[in-house]
Amino acid sequence: MKIEKEITHPIHPRHKLTLNYTEAPFNCDGCHEAGIGYNYKCHQCGFHMHKVCAVGAPTITHPFYKKCEFKLHHHPPGQAKRVCDACRTHIHGFVYHCNACDFDLHPCCASLPQVLDDGQHHLYLCHKLSSSCHGCGGKGLGWSYRSKCRTYNLHLSCVKEMLVESWQAMYFNVDKNKVREMVTTIPRLKGSMQDRRGARGAVEKCGRVAGAAARVIISAILGDPSAIVAAVVGGIISK
Ligand SMILES: [Zn+2]
Ligand SMILES: [Zn+2]
Ligand SMILES: [Zn+2]
Ligand SMILES: [Zn+2]
Ligand SMILES: [Zn+2]
């Protein structure tokens, strides 16, 4: 992926987008998922895009699907609701889709690094989980990150859930204004927060086991594995 300081993008043709860095989560106007770290932003409109959504290749391949060719679509193809095969959540905007096999990947999921480093462990991206996940206790569908020592086993879907729960926990316990502001910026969080009112199980269970690991996975899911996740995310999980 080439990193230009300034780009123009067909979904926001009126203004230039400039490379920007933020530790506060933003809502990507391409894939409509949350983001953090490096992004492309229109300063006039407050329009944001993940780096990968803005400058990702129109066609990609992925080591987990050797025969597939994934094409970037600005809208999910077809009428049916589509689910990302990596993180098992719905797709609301930009998607990498393989026409032959009907596989779908969020752009951020498609570009997750095969290896993450949380400072103590290397975490390897796995297509299928062979031992139980620390988040849900199961071996269900979807990708996960696993450490070689088997200390950490975490579904992307479970880490995403922890992220919502930790933001929700902030909402009820820490800094209500900050989280209220975040819910306004990232409408997708609102539904999940209301549905899951009071549920803090996974954060507490998983947070204790996998603090640093979870943080580095969260940054990757949010589109920038190198980002230092803001206190908003890190505070609760590290406890
Ligand atoms: Zn995006
Ligand atoms: Zn603009
Ligand atoms: Zn395919
Ligand atoms: Zn995904
Ligand atoms: Zn899980």
96 CA to centre of ligand 3 in angstroms: 11
Distance, in Å, from the CA atom of 7 to the CA atom of 156, rounded to the nearest integer, reads 30
List the beta strands (DSSP E) in 4-163. Answer: 6-9, 12-27, 34-42, 47-50, 59-62, 65-73, 95-98, 103-105, 115-117, 122-126, 144-147, 153-155
* CATH number for domain 6-55, candidates 3.30.60, 1.10.620, 3.30.200, 3.40.50: 3.30.60
DSSP letter assigned to residue 129: -
Surrounding ion ligand 2 within 5 Å at CB are 15, 42, 44-45
215 CA to centre of ligand 4 in angstroms: 17
Surrounding ion ligand 1 within 5 Å at CB are 28, 30-31, 50, 53
Ligand nearest to C-alpha 109:
4
**Number of residues that this document lists for the chain:** 239
Is 85 within 8 Å of 144 (Cβ atoms)? Answer: no
222 CA to centre of ligand 1 in angstroms: 9
DSSP letter assigned to residue 174: S
Whether 6-55 shares its CATH topology with 59-110 is answered yes
* CATH number for domain 59-110, candidates 1.10.150, 3.30.60, 3.30.1490, 3.10.590: 3.30.60
230 CA to centre of ligand 5 in angstroms: 24
Please report, in tens digits, the pLDDT of each residue of the chain (239 residues total). 557 899 999 999 999 999 998 877 788 999 999 888 889 999 999 999 999 999 999 999 999 999 999 999 999 999 999 999 999 999 999 999 999 999 999 999 999 999 888 777 788 999 988 888 888 889 999 999 988 877 788 899 888 887 766 665 554 554 556 555 655 655 555 444 444 433 444 444 444 445 667 777 877 888 887 665 443 344 434 33
Q: Is the ipTM of this complex over 0.90?
A: yes
Distance, in Å, from the CA atom of 22 to the CA atom of 29, rounded to the nearest integer, reads 15
Distance, in Å, from the CA atom of 213 to the CA atom of 207, rounded to the nearest integer, reads 9
69 CA to centre of ligand 3 in angstroms: 6
What are the two backbone dihedrals, phi and then psi, of residue 59, each rounded to the nearest 5 degrees?
-135, 135
What are the structural domain ranges in the chain?
Answer: 6-55, 59-110
DSSP letter assigned to residue 83: B
Ligand nearest to C-alpha 41:
2
1 CA to centre of ligand 5 in angstroms: 30
175 CA to centre of ligand 5 in angstroms: 28
What are the two backbone dihedrals, phi and then psi, of residue 236, each rounded to the nearest 5 degrees?
-75, -40
Is 154 within 8 Å of 213 (Cβ atoms)? Answer: yes
pLDDT at 199: 40
**Count of beta carbons in the 10 Å neighbourhood of residue 59:** 10
pLDDT at 176: 54
Q: Which SS3 state, helix, strand or coil, does residue 93 take? A: coil
